[in-house]
Amino acid sequence: MRKLLVIALVAASLTACRGGETTTDAGGIKTDVGVTKEPCPQAIDQAKGCIYLGIISDLTEGPFKALAVPITEAQKAFWKRVNEAGGIGGYEIDVTKFVKDNKYNPQTHKEVWDQIKGQVLALAQTLGSPTTAAIMSDLKSGNVVAVPASWTSQWAFDDVIIESGANYCIESMNSLDYAVEKYKSKSVLAVHYAGDYGDDAAAGVKFAAEKLGLTFSHLKTDAGADKQAGAIAEIVGKKPDLVILTTGPTETATIVGQAAARGYTGRFIGTSPTWNPALLQSAAAPALLALYEQSAPWNSWTTNTPGHEALRKALTGVTALSEGYTAGWVWSYPLKAALQKATANKDLTRAGLLAAVKSLDSVDYEGMLPTGAGNFKAGATGQVKVTAIYKPDKAGVTGVSLVKDLFVGPTAQAYTLDSACFNKL
């Protein structure tokens, strides 16, 4: 009897690991995990089935929650808009039932993924580079397509990841091209978190510094305002013309504010996750206004494109605006395109969705990214390379205003992405 019980348990767990059975719906579309004939919990049309997408984000106490919460809200609004427009292939999309908090901790990320992996077709958001790396083997072995909320260059080499915008490596190259042209910078220091996020940007800085003839150095720092003494001392001591930051917003305020207070007068450019409009209320605000600029993979909330207009319309009533909303919205377009392609192919299984991703040669971002962006068919060579430069601005709706519109610098233009940049730091 005990043996029978063990066998039954093993069989049950194997079934759970394998995921759902493949079935074919009334419309002839094959489905397996995370797709039901029953309507979504908040269905607009009760006659439609439901595609469940998971979200794993930094929602409560991690360093990126100020971005992650708006990203998540924007994604909910994005898919609501899709549902209101009739859904995809006879299905509506739910991104509200399987929302999990990773606290920006890879171990937690893995734990919450294990909780939902048998119930979702794909991930509408997996926030963070090191966190996503913790579930990458699972995503690959299960053919689970995932939308990253990060920009590491590694994603260009992972078929299951459908990224948008220039990665940190390319973005940093563009930042250096910009700084050399505008500020005639001759030395650069990259201050960055360890891991796929910070190392990726620092590697881009290193490559561009070599090409442009700048003196390069870099310093790894940790999350937390109290852990920046080393970075500040390095900046004040070395006095580089330019500092590229790849940290969180709290560290940005501490580093920029205190380095300026101790006499540093050079320039800072931070990647997009380094900024939070709330920093304009901090003691570091004067230093940020004077010395800091932000690089961004797409244009901000106020831009006039059909996509931006749809975003603003979908999120009418949001008062504390941030570029997290813009990011969450932009990131969702490739998954929408892939779902449409998969349903057109009559294969909405995980493998079918991945095949659809691999066949996409462009994504309609409604003008939020240049035409041709989203070429997943081309792999790493299809990467978009544009960057915009913003500066803090108290009058700006999201606390920033445009300095330089989307551009590709000569360094990034000439760079061939042949492997993840962070391996070359």
Q: Does residue 10 bind another protein (CB under 8 A)?
A: no
Q: Does residue 283 bind another protein (CB under 8 A)?
A: yes
Give whichever of 91 and 422 is closer to another protein, judged by the CB atom: 422
**Which of 6, 9, 320, 378 touches another protein (CB under 8 A)?**
320
Give whichever of 70 and 374 is closer to another protein, judged by the CB atom: 70
Number of residues that bind another protein (CB under 8 A): 46
Q: Does residue 215 bind another protein (CB under 8 A)?
A: no
Judged by CB under 8 A, the chain residues 56 through 115 that form the site for another protein are 60-63, 65-66, 69-70
Q: Does residue 153 bind another protein (CB under 8 A)?
A: no
Q: Does residue 231 bind another protein (CB under 8 A)?
A: yes
Give whichever of 218 and 341 is closer to another protein, judged by the CB atom: 218
Spell out the alpha helix ranges (H) of 213-248.
Answer: 229-238
Q: What Å distances lie between residue 366 and 4, 164, 287, CA to CA? A: 57, 13, 36
Least Cβ distance, residue 236 to another protein (angstroms): 9
Q: Does residue 224 bind another protein (CB under 8 A)?
A: yes
As beta bridge partners, residue 221 has 193
Least Cβ distance, residue 374 to another protein (angstroms): 29
Q: Does residue 220 bind another protein (CB under 8 A)?
A: yes
Quick one: which H or E segment has residue 307?
helix 306-314
Q: Does residue 230 bind another protein (CB under 8 A)?
A: yes
Q: What Å distances lie between residue 382 and 129, 248, 291, 362, 377, CA to CA? A: 20, 29, 34, 9, 8
Residue 384 to residue 369: CA distance in whole angstroms: 9
Q: Does residue 421 bind another protein (CB under 8 A)?
A: no
Within 10 angstroms of residue 84's Cβ, the number of other Cβ atoms is: 12
Q: Does residue 239 bind another protein (CB under 8 A)?
A: no
Within 10 angstroms of residue 105's Cβ, the number of other Cβ atoms is: 18
Which of these segments, 42-50, 138-146, 155-163, 261-269, binds another protein (CB under 8 A)? 261-269
Categorise residue 383: left if φ over 0, alpha if ψ from -120 to 50, beta otherwise. Answer: beta
Give whichever of 67 and 121 is closer to another protein, judged by the CB atom: 67
Q: Which regions of 152-279 does DSSP assign to beta strands (E)?
A: 187-193, 215-221, 242-246, 267-270
| Entry field: residues in the chain | 425
| HSE of 10, CA atoms in CB hemisphere, 13 A | 6
Quick one: which H or E segment has residue 277?
none
**Which of 105, 154, 254, 274 touches another protein (CB under 8 A)?**
254
Residue 420 to residue 199: CA distance in whole angstroms: 10
3-state secondary structure 140-162: HHCCCCEEEECCCHHHHHCCCEC
Least Cβ distance, residue 375 to another protein (angstroms): 34
Q: Beta strand pairing status for 122-127 and 400-407?
A: unpaired
Q: Are 294 and 403 in contact (CB under 8 A)?
A: no
Q: Does residue 321 bind another protein (CB under 8 A)?
A: no
Site string for another protein, 181-210 (x = CB under 8 A): ------------------------------
Least Cβ distance, residue 61 to another protein (angstroms): 4
**Which of 123, 214, 242, 287 touches another protein (CB under 8 A)?**
287
Q: Does residue 274 bind another protein (CB under 8 A)?
A: no
**Which of 282, 295, 303, 332 touches another protein (CB under 8 A)?**
282
Of residues 255, 245, 198, 224, the one with CA closest to residue 63? 224
Q: Does residue 221 bind another protein (CB under 8 A)?
A: yes
Least Cβ distance, residue 283 to another protein (angstroms): 4
Q: Does residue 361 bind another protein (CB under 8 A)?
A: no
* Three-state secondary-structure class, residue 390: strand
Residues that bind another protein (CB under 8 A): 60-63, 65-66, 69-70, 218-227, 229-234, 237-238, 249-250, 253-254, 257-258, 260-263, 276-279, 281-284, 287, 320
